[in-house]
Amino acid sequence: DDTELARHFDRTIERDQRIEPRDWMPDGYRATMIRQIAQHAHSEIIGMQPEGGWITRAPSLRRKAILLAKVQDEAGHGLYLYAAAETLGADRADLTERLISGAQKYSSIFNYPALTYADVGVIGWLVDGAAICNQVPLCRSSYGPYARAMIRICKEESFHQRQGYELLMTMMRGTDAQREMVQDAVNRWWWPTLMMFGPPDAESRHTARSMAWKIKRHTNDELRQRFVDMTVPQAEALGVTLPDPRLRWNPERGHYDFGDVDWAEFKRVISGDGPCNAERIAVRRAAHEDGAWVREAAAAHAAKRARRSRQ
């Protein structure tokens, strides 16, 4: 009966075992997983846009091949994640509809523009670095298909992070103008990157429940701190300044202290009013509409094959 199933679910979580698609799970767990996985998938898909615009303008064949591979990886991550959401009973067409109608969110970070090629490097270094910081613990998330998808996604994200850092190192060894481009991109992306980890713990409505269900393994503030601690020495090695006068090592805490994130800006961006929200959704909507004939052709082909196999 239901109480026995609920006990089994609780024991599975307690023992750090995985919840699988056919297992009983509380409705709230299913809804939370669908929300988080869908938002994550949408982020990967929308995340192709800021950098995708640079593919035709890459400064060399090598940079173009790297960027093309990276943007394709993001499409792949989106597809794995939609497939993981489908194991919970979500419908992919419905999720896409919710993205383009604004009913579901995607990461705030992708609502900022990539203005120069240095942004490609900084997105790899900071944005993908933050994504890794957030996603490595999700490899131990309690929902099996999500945790397993995260393993491959994290491996690919680490290539993305490396290509960004390597691009920035190359630019920092170049001309003064190139160094200025890098510093300008760091100035623009630093604070939005810290917002990727979500609102402060005290204002995060899902964290406590998601931690208890072991969907999340660390809180938003814990991961933000971990990211800052990891990034400061990398900035020093690169020779760039992080745009925060309050950033300094605190020997008592054993962590870097840092300034206040502009949470009013975060709220504006996630409620649809960031610098590129309208453009991101318009591009996604147009791609979806332009792809209608592909979906129709694939469905017609599948129907024909099914008819043939019945004959």
The minimum distance between CB 146 and ligand ACO, in angstroms, equals: 9
**Which CB atom, from 179 or from 280, has the smaller least distance to ligand ACO?**
280
Integer Cα distance of 117 and 1 in angstroms: 59
The minimum distance between CB 66 and ligand ACO, in angstroms, equals: 16
**Which CB atom, from 249 or from 263, has the smaller least distance to ligand ACO?**
263
What does the block give as tokens for 265? 């800006």
Alpha helices (H) in 101-219, listed in sequence order:
117-122, 128-135, 144-172, 176-195, 207-212
Q: What is the chain's length?
A: 311
Integer Cα distance of 56 and 67 in angstroms: 10
The minimum distance between CB 54 and ligand ACO, in angstroms, equals: 16
The minimum distance between CB 277 and ligand ACO, in angstroms, equals: 11
The minimum distance between CB 226 and ligand ACO, in angstroms, equals: 13
**Which CB atom, from 197 or from 256, has the smaller least distance to ligand ACO?**
197
Residue 218: CB atoms within 10 Å:
18
Contact between 54 and 114 under an 8 Å Cβ cutoff? The reply is yes
**Which CB atom, from 47 or from 145, has the smaller least distance to ligand ACO?**
47
What does the block give as tokens for 307? 């008819």
**Which CB atom, from 149 or from 186, has the smaller least distance to ligand ACO?**
149
**Which CB atom, from 200 or from 243, has the smaller least distance to ligand ACO?**
200
What does the block give as tokens for 303? 């129907």
What does the block give as tokens for 182? 């890098």
**Among 150, 177, 25, which residue's Cα sits nearest to residue 84?**
150
Contact between 150 and 137 under an 8 Å Cβ cutoff? The reply is no
Q: Which residues are at the interface with ligand ACO (CB under 6 A)?
A: 35-36, 39-40, 43-44, 47, 105, 107-108, 131, 134, 195-199, 204-207, 210, 216, 220, 270
**Which CB atom, from 145 or from 199, has the smaller least distance to ligand ACO?**
199
**Among 95, 60, 86, 107, which residue's Cα sits nearest to residue 276?**
107
The minimum distance between CB 171 and ligand ACO, in angstroms, equals: 22
The minimum distance between CB 94 and ligand ACO, in angstroms, equals: 16
**Which CB atom, from 164 or from 199, has the smaller least distance to ligand ACO?**
199
Torsion-angle region of residue 272: left (phi > 0), alpha (psi -120 to 50) or beta? left
Element (H, E) at 37: helix 27-46
The minimum distance between CB 85 and ligand ACO, in angstroms, equals: 12
